[in-house]
Amino acid sequence: MSIDAPIQPAENQPAENQPAENQPAENQPAENQPAENQPAAARVIDGHKVYGSGDTEIRALDGVTVDFGQGRFTAIMGPSGSGKSTLMHCAAGLDNLTSGSAYIGDTELGSLSDRDLTLLRREQIGFVFQAFNLLPTLTAIENVNLPLTLANRKADAGWLDQIITSTGIGDRLDHRPNELSGGQQQRVAIARALVSRPSIVFADEPTGNLDSVTGGEVLDFLREAVDDLGQTLVLVTHDASAAARADRVLFLADGQIVDQIDQPSADAIFDRIKELGG
């Protein structure tokens, strides 16, 4: 996967001002919003992803069906090689399924041209990776604004303020990444993921390069983005205490969803990992 896939250059993207969509979602706790009443932010239906063929064939995804409901925080766990990143990449349009379908809202990703897929990713999906992937020559605020700059859009000032305040990077905005700690860099990356008010944010082991205290702060912030901003979030993690912050945790093994826990506790997650032999 190319690390800059989510933020490729703009192709004449019209500047759009949609104040209503730039307001933080209020009164949208997940428990007040039964999944049946609204489309999922993202869905995969009978997703298969096969690498190679014959003796070397790897079924990275082997019939995965999953909904990521709006305003919900889902964690994905499973042993190394179980297909977590592949599921995330296919659900987010960074990679394509071998068979089955992936939707963002009502849009089936396999039906889109490369250009439309790029635009959809830029406008509707936020990404946070383990390696923060900030551009070293840009300041923190320039990195945060990059997705909008590439699309010839301007950030909604109120929304930008809110993201900067809640990520706590306000006094670091003019610094370049090499002048920031790992935790600060990841906060900038998260602010960048949120700036376009995406319908879903995918985070693949975002605390993997952080110490546990800093990682905990980043995870708390992601939880707040769900609770306070109505953000839909999918978090891939190895860490039971990270997954315990989610509304639901899915367990992958050999490319299949083998279990799930709603409102998980860290203890319940540990027990399940032991049972699954992870």
Q: Which stretch binds Mg ion (CB under 5 A): 28-36, 82-90, 103-111, 257-265?
A: 82-90
Query: Residue 48: in which H helix or E strand, if any?
Result: strand 42-51
Binding ligand ADP (rule: CB under 6 A), the pick from 6, 40, 75, 84 is 84
Q: How far is 252 from 260, CA to CA, in rounded Å? A: 9
Cβ proximity of 27 and 21 under 8 Å: no
Least gap, CB of 261 to Mg ion (angstroms):
20
Among 74, 85, 139, 237, binds ligand ADP (CB under 6 A): 85
CA atoms within 13 A on the CB side of 253: 11
How near is the Cβ of 262 to ligand ADP at its closest, in Å? Answer: 22
Between 175 and 238, CB nearer to Mg ion: 238
Q: Which of 6, 71, 83, 215 binds ligand ADP (CB under 6 A)?
A: 83
Query: 202 - beta bridge partners?
Result: 127, 234
Task: Kindly state whether residue 82 participates in binding ligand ADP, applying the rule CB under 6 A.
Answer: yes
Q: Are the CB atoms for 264 and 68 separated by under 8 Å?
A: no
Task: Rule CB under 6 A: choose which of 25, 45, 58, 131 binds ligand ADP.
Answer: 58
**CB 98, min distance to ligand ADP, A:** 12
Stretch that binds ligand ADP, among 78-86, 115-123, 171-179, 211-219 (CB under 6 A): 78-86
| 22 Cβ contact list (under 8 Å, min separation 6) | 156, 158, 159, 197
CA 230 from chain centre, in angstroms, equals 14
Cα of 139 vs its chain's centroid, Å: 23
| Binder of ligand ADP out of 7, 30, 60, 140 (CB under 6 A) | 60
Question: In a 10 Å sphere around its CB, with 0-12 CB exposed, 13-18 middle and 19+ buried, how is residue 12 labelled?
Answer: exposed
- Kindly state whether residue 85 participates in binding Mg ion, applying the rule CB under 5 A: yes
Least CB distance from residue 52 to ligand ADP, whole Å?
6
The binding site for ligand ADP (CB under 6 A) comprises 51, 58, 60, 78, 80-86
Residues that bind Mg ion (CB under 5 A): 84-85
